[in-house]
Structure 1
Amino acid sequence: MTKALRDIPLSVLDLAPIVEGSTAAQSFQNSLDLAQKVEKWGFHRYWLAEHHAMPSVASSATAVLIGHIAGGTSTMRVGSGGIMLPNHAPLIIAEQFGTLESLYPGRIDLGLGRAPGADQRTARALRRDLRIGGDDFPELLEELREYLRPRTSDNAGALRAIPGEGLNIPIWLLGSSDFSARLAGLLGLPFAFAGHFSPNYTLPALQTYRHCFRPSDVLSEPYAMVGVNVMAADTDELAERLATSHYQAFLNLIRGDLKPIQPPVDNMDELWSEFEKMSVQAQLRSSIIGSPDTVKQKLQELLEATQADELMITTQMYRHEDRVRSFEIVADVWKA
């Protein structure tokens, strides 16, 4: 049965982008402004991503920023997309999200990833012990889940997360390959796939998740969300031009030349080599760029291909006004 775009929830993934000539403080103001607007437009969740040592990303202290956004909104769910669990002691995450859930009951999501969200030097500074990494993710996850379980006679002697224990904080597993897809399925947890930067693995990972899924006390059937880059504008031509800021961000990442988000340009061919162009386009080939009609058609095609239960939209643009307009267009075509 074909799903219609209007019949599923849409959500937002935000990296609190820092643009050239601006500051992290301004990016936080922009994120709150965007969150307040998309809440009015009916978006279901607003997630923030953990990245470190990146001049273009301000959401490194993810739990703090979640509190900022949740405090300035009232109905949307707010959460992490995600917390990179190997970077943190599970007890700390249980306490942080227990605090958030206590402040904003029924509105907090805990999305978890196993990548570092940083280079190796930064990961070492975060973890202090590089022997802990992605391979330890299942054990770290189980430790975290134990802290959040209600206190009973069976776990009376366990360490306690206060606040945290006994709170109903939905845990999502995030992934860009099939590792977390398989684990989420086996544990009966919701799964969010990073289709916005790992398009080649989207369908295989979703197939793995659904095949491995076992019902749990959390979910009786699979629930999959797919991330997608959307750069919408009033015309296809304007959207293509605004998307060059996003292209430049990935180009600089490939080159190891990290910078704030750059202004759009008229001609990317003046900036990248043919090999770099192919690399960036391969990484971003699932991006949806265009006018309202183009965006509506391509979002529907993505939904039909993935059979996602929810889509999570992320948009990187230089001007905050253009990013807000992009989400406004998505909201309009979603409900049309």
Structure 2
Amino acid sequence: MGGNVALCGHCDLEIGPGSAIREEIGGREAVFCCPGCRSVYALLVSEGLDGFYARRRGWTPGPPSVPPLDPESFAAAAREAGADGEMDLTISGIRCASCVWVIERHLGKKRGIRYARVNYTTHRGKIRWDPTQTDAGTIAGWIAELGYAPSPGDTTGMEETLARQKADLLLRLGTAAFLSLQIMMVTAGLYAGYFQGIEQQTRTLFHLVALGLAAPVLFYSGYPFLRNTVAGIRNRAPGMDTLVFLGSFSAYAYSVAMIFSGGEVYFDTTAMIITLILLGRYLEVTAKGRAAETIARLFRLVPAQARRV
């Protein structure tokens, strides 16, 4: 954390000292970017759910977009489950498994809640409650006060989020894959030179070309890993992205040093680590999108009313 820049205690957004909101909560001073983050942070601390901050991984700094709630739409989505009320929700703004944990624990502490489960893969939740003690609109408000955006019955919000993630990953993956192929061709020439001999000037040229090709792979295609690594180190909670970036960057930095000392370079390793991990994440987001689309189709088949005969 720099001397003139602070991080919001809840959403990790960088804020200047002039706009920071400082408040002592739970016996320690915290800094916030807005009253909303301050309220959510105070709520988590008061409910004993501040373990969320140590558990979360891959968090993107900044608050999610939260649309206004329509209590009547949630009431319409509720159904009877014996003597209880029940509804299915789509919850936008879920970024990691810790988000699921805090939503379930928060609802579990509320009066009248009998059952609350959220699926991390589909971002869908099923809530069951005692109608004499609470209602669907109030439950949606409890979720929204944590900074998430519940919507009744449909998966539109999640589909839009996954579509944006997929488009971004596709661009980064395509860039990484194209440049990695070029690096592998240059590396093949270096391998051939290792066995058959190669002039020092040609070898240095190949090294510099590989250096230039690997830089965009690491710092553009691999930027999400870099961003999450910095955030994880700042919060003393490094995750899997930290391992990915440090492994790639170590190979890159070592190779740069070897250009000047005459050793072997491993720019191909840097590029392929980033490319393969991005490929895995792209396939994961694609699978989530298909699951969300299938669930949306199934829910559209459910009739709003049924007559029992």
How does the TM-score come out when normalised to structure 1? 0.26
Greater gyration radius: 2
- State the structure with bigger RCO (CA 8 A, min sep 6), 1 or 2: 1
How does the TM-score come out when normalised to structure 2? 0.28
By percentage of residues, which structure has more helix?
Answer: 2
